[in-house]
Amino acid sequence: IKKNGKKYAKIAHSVEQAAVLGAGIMGGGIAYQSAYKGVPILMKDIKEDAIQQGLDEASKHFAKGVERGKMDSARMAQGLSRIRPTLTYGDFGSVDAVIEAVVENPKVKKSVLAETEDKVSEKAIIASNTSSISIDLLAADLKRPENFLGMHFFNPVHKMPLVEVIRGAKSSEEAIATVVNYAHTLGKTPIVVNDCPGFLVNRILFPYFFGFQQLISDGADFVKIDKVMEKFGWPMGPAYLSDVVGMDTSQHVEEVLAEGYPDRMAQDGTSSLDVMVEKGRLGQKSGSGYYSYE
């Protein structure tokens, strides 16, 4: 990034107006971060209650900022007003960049991306926040694959500095530069990575989850494992982290990795994660996962 910094700065388009698709854990977090850093953002979902939840999350973060003396209530109101919730593509014609953050399912994502491409201007960049799905696979049916790439934030968005910028085979240098620049505007540290299932971080993180799930299958206590990993120095253990990420999302990522690396990442049998999904214990977002949040 340092080496390419000047080159990127020269060709990046400025993102004055952004949009995010999905107001879930990630979409809500991205909307907050963009609004907090001064870039107005449309937040679209297909469910009204998801939009409300996304707005509530953003309000909570702004309120914390006020509580900690980082901003006053006028600045909080101004920040919140930069998030424009919507159920339609009405104002998408004027956005410079769209970040797609809907469910981790290639079919759903492809259909949402095609729909979006028809609503935005020809110059607009479209980035997917996918955790694992190949950018080239998502780009396959797009009319303007040069304007498409990955922009992978981590959870929780307001705390995690890293953003993986994923270069698809057809992504233009301008698109890469624009997203690198936007990530800097959001106060993040972007790294440009090549396209492959799981990209960089999740190819490292998921084998850790697999190890954890195998220990659970062997009868280990997840609370003890969490405590051990905290003592090891990680900010949270794997069970708690699974709850933060969301079991359904992790399960989708596991499927993508198993398909991408059948020899190395395919797991045998039913894991504790599969059991959680089956029981509807999706983690913090559903009120319970390994732990209970009621």
Would you please indicate which residues are annotated as catalytic (active-site) residues?
A: 152
Q: Counting contacts by CB under 6 A, is residue 197 touching ligand NAD?
A: no
Q: How far apart are CA 236 and CA 233, in angstroms?
A: 8
How crowded is the C-beta side of 146, counted as CA atoms within 13 Å? 5
Q: Counting contacts by CB under 6 A, is residue 178 touching ligand NAD?
A: no
Pick from 1, 46, 114, 228: which binds ligand NAD (CB under 6 A)? 46
**Can you state the angle between helices 247-260 and 201-217, rounded to 10 degrees?**
110
User: What residues numbered 48-77 form the site for ligand NAD, per CB under 6 A?
Assistant: 50
Q: Counting contacts by CB under 6 A, is residue 102 touching ligand NAD?
A: yes
Cβ neighbours, 10 Å, residue 73:
10
Would you state the structure tokens that stand for residue 67, as one six-digit string?
């509580």
Nearer to ligand NAD, 25 or 175 (CB): 25
**Can you state the angle between helices 247-260 and 238-245, rounded to 10 degrees?**
100
Residue 140 · residue 114 · CB < 8 Å: no
Pick from 42, 45, 92, 257: which binds ligand NAD (CB under 6 A)? 45
Q: How far apart are CA 30 and CA 156, in angstroms?
A: 9
Pick from 112, 126, 192, 257: which binds ligand NAD (CB under 6 A)? 112
Pick from 15, 101, 163, 205: which binds ligand NAD (CB under 6 A)? 101
Would you state the structure tokens that stand for residue 103, as one six-digit string?
């469910």
Spell out, one character per residue from 117 to 156, where the chain touches ligand NAD: x when CB under 6 A holds, - when not.
Answer: ------------xxx--------------------xxxx-
Q: Counting contacts by CB under 6 A, is residue 103 touching ligand NAD?
A: yes
Q: Counting contacts by CB under 6 A, is residue 249 touching ligand NAD?
A: yes
Residue 206 · residue 238 · CB < 8 Å: no
First and final C-alpha spacing in the chain: 43
Residue 262 identity (one-letter amino acid): P
Nearer to ligand NAD, 163 or 192 (CB): 163
The burial class, CB within 10 Å (0-12 / 13-18 / 19+), for 40 is: middle
Q: Which stretch binds ligand NAD (CB under 6 A): 10-18, 75-83, 99-107, 174-182?
A: 99-107
Q: Which stretch binds ligand NAD (CB under 6 A): 62-70, 97-105, 228-236, 286-294?
A: 97-105
Binding region for ligand NAD (CB under 6 A): 21-27, 44-47, 50, 101-104, 108, 112, 129-131, 152-155, 245-246, 249, 285
